[in-house]
Amino acid sequence: MATEDGAKASGRRARRGGGREGRRVQRGAIGSAAPAYVTRKLNPFEIVSEEGLAQIEYNADSLLEQVGVEVRDTPRAIERFKAAGAMVDGTRVRFPRGMCREIIQASAPSVYTQHARNAARNVQIGGDATVFAPNYGSPFVHDIDNGRRYATLNDFENFVKLAYTAPHMHHSGGTICEPVDIPVSVRHLDMVYAHLRYSDKPFMGSVTAGSRAQDSIDMARIGFGGDLADRTVMTSLINASSPMVWDDTMLDAAEVYAANNQACIITPFILAGAMAPVTAAGVAAQSLAEVLVGIAFTQLVRPGAPAIFGSFASSMSMQSGAPTFGTPEPAIVLYTIAALARRLGVPFRSGGSLTASKIPDAQAAYESSATLHPTLMAGVNFVLHSAGWLEGGLALGYEKFILDCDQLGSMAAFAQGLDMSPNGQAIDTLLQHPPGEHHLGTQHTLQNFETAFYTSTTADNNSFEQWAEEGELNSAKRANAIWKKQLEDYQEPALDPAINQELREFVERRKGEIGLHDS
């Protein structure tokens, strides 16, 4: 019935020549006036005193000095740490107090530019900038027509296109979903190719092996015309194996990217109570310790290589062990670690639109909102999982993606804060109008009516009668029509045919060299 209702409503809208729905889709189309990234005019919200932050830093250094980290299956990384002054006992590496911080602050940039194929879409990462990137890593996708199913390469390409056409999505992301119909050993080639062909926004490379990171760089070099010219064109996700372990897969990928001046998001993935203590201060201290090691490693590979302080910390049900989202404790961790990242002097990644809900329902909405608002208020610079996340990250939702992107636009508007320009103060029109006279037809209102308020692309604000006449659509059904329309109207960005051919040849050659076997 849901599909039939949507089809009937779609037919009515078509007969009406577009109307309000047509304008709604136009507002969400690529080419809108949305900037390449959000420039925040709000100061980050602080919840921890300077003394508290200093204590957490002290605790992190104590952890690195007295316990250290395990560095597994990568003697080359251990030798780098040892040469820089770390204490090595087999695979256990301990760091003198302050060592990692000194390495980072000597060379890691506080702000950098990630270049896009289209220079108009370059993004600033760090400082007062917030960059929204899509969901990452889900093996399943969900839509209200077909329910939950394994993701395919076609789904992956669809979401690259949806991210490209979303005006408030600044980044194409990385493994937006896992195309499980392609063998693991070669799927990174198809994913990077999709980012380069179907979008000209910035993107992320593969991190599941050092060789796959190198493939990503080689393909980016082709896509950018044959020479990266030392530009940072990828910002890729490097996860610690919390608690307090760095393995060869992640460090090999980080080494490849850092050596080529590509950015790494150094992120502990923590389920509090399992991979870290249950308390926010304990999570913050452990996260800081793990990130200090990871970013210091990138600087030992290449001083000045861009790196982001990443944090992903979730609470969990103490009854079942399942991850929970939208709870207050992870928000407290987010605010705390954001402040620690500013003190360290590097960009910060966290937040998103996170939920444990399986479908785009009320739970999905309120949990995502409870994650997204602290994301903006804390001053997060790079937001992964900003749209589409369902089921604790196991699924990527088509309708959820559209609904989340709408909220990103709302957050972008909120980030501008109070307008104290002469137009914002509106004192002239206030002085010109006597008590009791409305402002509907004033010059000031007419000059501002198109931009005065953020206009949702998914909400229905019509009368009950009009809503009923248009099919009684709930938000998921409206989003269903929107994503289908965006894919129907999608047009590929320009890509030189010779570059496209070279990319296709590279993919086919590497698949032949690797072999179509999972590994």
Q: From its phi and psi, is residue 385 left (phi > 0), alpha (psi between -120 and 50) or beta?
A: left
Any bridge partners for residue 114, and if so which? 123
Give the containing element (helix H, strand E) for 192. helix 184-198
For the record, the structure tokens of 388 come out as 């589409």
The backbone torsions φ and ψ at residue 264, rounded to the nearest 5 degrees and listed phi first, read: -120, 135
Q: From its phi and psi, is residue 273 left (phi > 0), alpha (psi between -120 and 50) or beta?
A: left
CB distance 91 to 71 below 8 Å = yes
Give the containing element (helix H, strand E) for 58. helix 50-66
Nearest to 71 by CA among 221, 279, 249: 249
What tens digit of pLDDT does each residue of 330-340 get?
999 999 999 99
Any bridge partners for residue 235, and if so which? 263
- Cα–Cα distances (Å) from 361 to 368, 406, 458, 475, in that order, read 11, 15, 14, 9
- Cα–Cα distances (Å) from 376 to 158, 324, 512, in that order, read 27, 20, 45
Angle at 417 (CA atoms; ends 353, 135), nearest 5 degrees: 15
Query: So what's the pLDDT on residue 516?
Result: 57
Query: So what's the pLDDT on residue 29?
Result: 44
CA distance 441 to 316: 53
Give the containing element (helix H, strand E) for 129. strand 129-132
| Torsion angle in degrees (nearest 10) through CA of 128, 132, 137, 139 | 160
Query: So what's the pLDDT on residue 284?
Result: 98
CA distance 288 to 282: 10
CA distance 35 to 494: 20
What stretches in the chain show pLDDT beneath 50? 1-32, 518-519
- The secondary structure of residue 462, as a DSSP letter, is S
Q: 18-26: long-range contacts (C-beta < 8 A, 24 or more apart)?
A: 20/462, 21/481, 24/457, 24/482, 25/457, 25/482, 25/485, 25/486, 25/489
Nearest to 301 by CA among 261, 245, 244, 345: 261
* Identity of the residue numbered 90: G
491: Cβ–Cβ under 8 A, 6 or more apart, which residues? Answer: none
CB distance 387 to 397 below 8 Å = no
Other CB atoms within 10 Å distance of the CB of residue 496: 10
| Torsion angle in degrees (nearest 10) through CA of 101, 102, 104, 107 | 160
437: Cβ–Cβ under 8 A, 6 or more apart, which residues? Answer: none
Nearest to 266 by CA among 233, 315, 209, 305: 305
CB distance 303 to 80 below 8 Å = no
Query: So what's the pLDDT on residue 4?
Result: 37
CB distance 186 to 175 below 8 Å = no
Helix (H, G, I), strand (E, B) or coil at 349: strand
What tens digit of pLDDT does each residue of 323-375 get?
999 999 999 999 999 999 999 999 999 999 999 999 999 999 999 999 999 99
Residue entry with tokens 């709000």: 42
Give the containing element (helix H, strand E) for 398. helix 398-414
| Torsion angle in degrees (nearest 10) through CA of 111, 117, 118, 120 | 0
The backbone torsions φ and ψ at residue 2, rounded to the nearest 5 degrees and listed phi first, read: -60, -45
Query: So what's the pLDDT on residue 515?
Result: 85
Q: What is the CA 238 to chain-centroid distance, rounded?
A: 14
CB distance 301 to 308 below 8 Å = no
Other CB atoms within 10 Å distance of the CB of residue 519: 10
Query: So what's the pLDDT on residue 33?
Result: 60
Query: So what's the pLDDT on residue 34?
Result: 83
Give the containing element (helix H, strand E) for 114. strand 111-114
